[in-house]
Amino acid sequence: MIDARARTESSGVAVSPSALLGAACAVSLILCGCPDPSNNSTDKVHGSLDVQLTVALPGAVAIGFSGQLLQLEQGSIMTVSATTSSAVDSYAWYIDGTAAAQGPAAASITFGDTLGGGAHTLTLVVTGEGAFSSREIAFTVTARSQPTSFSFDTGGFPPEFTCAGDAAWVIDGAAYHSSPRALRSGPLENGQASTVTLSGTVPAGKTLAAISFYRKVSSEPQYDSLTFSIGGTEQGRWSGEVGWGQASYTLSIGGGMEYRFTWSYMKDSAVSIGADCAWIDDVVLTVQ
């Protein structure tokens, strides 16, 4: 009778075949048993046989995704949820190879707002019942599409506009052109200025052909005024009591190029007349 025991090739420690479930490994079979009847000897058969034993893994867990996008606009987020064909113990998510979320309850992940433009990968690894499975999806983060008109009627300050100077511009409902609100310069002392700038990049393959906007001013004539500049060069100036009127400028700014439009309300060293501020509304960029 032959007694066969499996020993791991690396350690030589006896293990049971059931302990090898889920692995492919090299083992040695050490044989010992009865005397050899072929030569009438009382010597027992001794020897060893190296074999390659491959034991199949338990059935892989199938992973399904929902909510994934092939393209994600920069600054936006997406939520991806996972379903599995059988119960799992833990989820581990990776974005471009870096751990992002993990745990037994992490069946979904929300991400994306901090990713830069270009190609990215999202990977999920699930473990359970001695097995693990993984699935990967590829997606691209694209440049954020820029609005071509601003009416300020939502009440939120558009992120494309940035303020500078001694006081920030604000959303105001006291005066407007065609919507419930407009953008108004901030409160100033003599000799101060309130500036707001609209900036961005022209989309590839497009041309920024024009800008138009409506403006209103209530100030000391000739001394306190609203100016409009393109790329740092003044294009228009209004002072005194000026009702709502449109200003338009022809442009030719190509795709991939940056633009910068600046409105500044400035006060001289003395005297305040009227509301002492300026408003702009219905800013429109013509992109072709």
Q: How far apart are CA 118 and CA 114, in angstroms?
A: 12
pTM: 0.54
* β-pair partners for 109: 80
- Any residues with CB less than 8 A from the CB of 49 and at least 6 apart, and which? 28, 29, 31
- Region of poorest pLDDT, from 1-15, 43-57, 66-80, 166-180: 1-15
CB 224 within 8 A of CB 276: yes
CA distance 201 to 203: 6
pLDDT at residue number 146? 67
CATH, domain 63-142, list 3.30.420.40, 3.40.50.300, 3.10.580.10, 2.60.40.10: 2.60.40.10
pLDDT in tens, 169-183: 999 998 999 879 999
**Rounded Cα gap, residues 92 and 100, in angstroms:** 8
Tokens 């799992």 belong to 88
Percent of the chain residues topping a pLDDT of 90: 59
Distance CA 215, CA 196 (A): 13
User: What is the architecture, at CATH level 2, of domain 149-287?
Assistant: Sandwich (2.60)
Residues of the chain with CATH 2.60.40.10: 63-142
Q: Is 223 exposed, middle or buried (0-12, 13-18, 19+ CB in 10 A)?
A: middle
Give residues with Cβ within 8 angstroms of 281, minimum separation 6: 151, 152, 176, 177, 178, 179, 182, 183, 213, 214, 215, 216, 244
Task: Report pLDDT for 10.
Answer: 35
Q: Tokens 């590839």 correspond to what residue?
A: 204
Check pLDDT > 90 for residue 206. Answer: no
Sign of CA dihedral 148, 152, 158, 161: positive
pLDDT class of 40 with cuts at 50, 70, 90: low
Distance CA 21, CA 57 (A): 7
Q: What is the pLDDT of residue 128?
A: 82
Residue 107 pLDDT more than 80? yes
Label residue 116 by pLDDT band (50, 70, 90).
confident
Given this model, what pLDDT does residue 264 score? 98
Residue 18 has pLDDT above 90, yes or no: no
Average of per-residue pLDDT values in the chain = 82
276 Cβ partners below 8 Å, 6+ apart? 187, 188, 218, 219, 220, 224, 267
Instruction: Count Cα atoms within 13 angstroms, Cβ side, for 233.
Output: 4
Coil/strand/helix, residue 178? coil
Residue 78 forms beta bridges with which residues?
111
Residue with tokens 């074999």: 51
Looking at the chain, the domain(s) classified CATH 2.60.120.260 span: 149-287
231 pLDDT tier (thresholds 50, 70, 90): very high
Weakest-pLDDT range from 21-35, 60-74, 92-106 = 21-35
Mean pLDDT of the 67-83 span: 89
- Percent over 70 (pLDDT), the chain: 78
Q: What is the pLDDT of residue 39?
A: 53
Tokens read off for 114: 């901090």
The 10 Å Cβ neighbour count of residue 63 is 18
In this prediction, residue 131 carries a pLDDT of 76
pLDDT tens string 258-284: 999 999 999 999 999 999 999 999 999
Contact 265, 274 (CB under 8 A): no
**pLDDT over threshold 60, residue 121:** yes
pLDDT reported for residue 51? 44
Q: Is the pLDDT of residue 8 over 50?
A: no
pLDDT of residue 73: 81
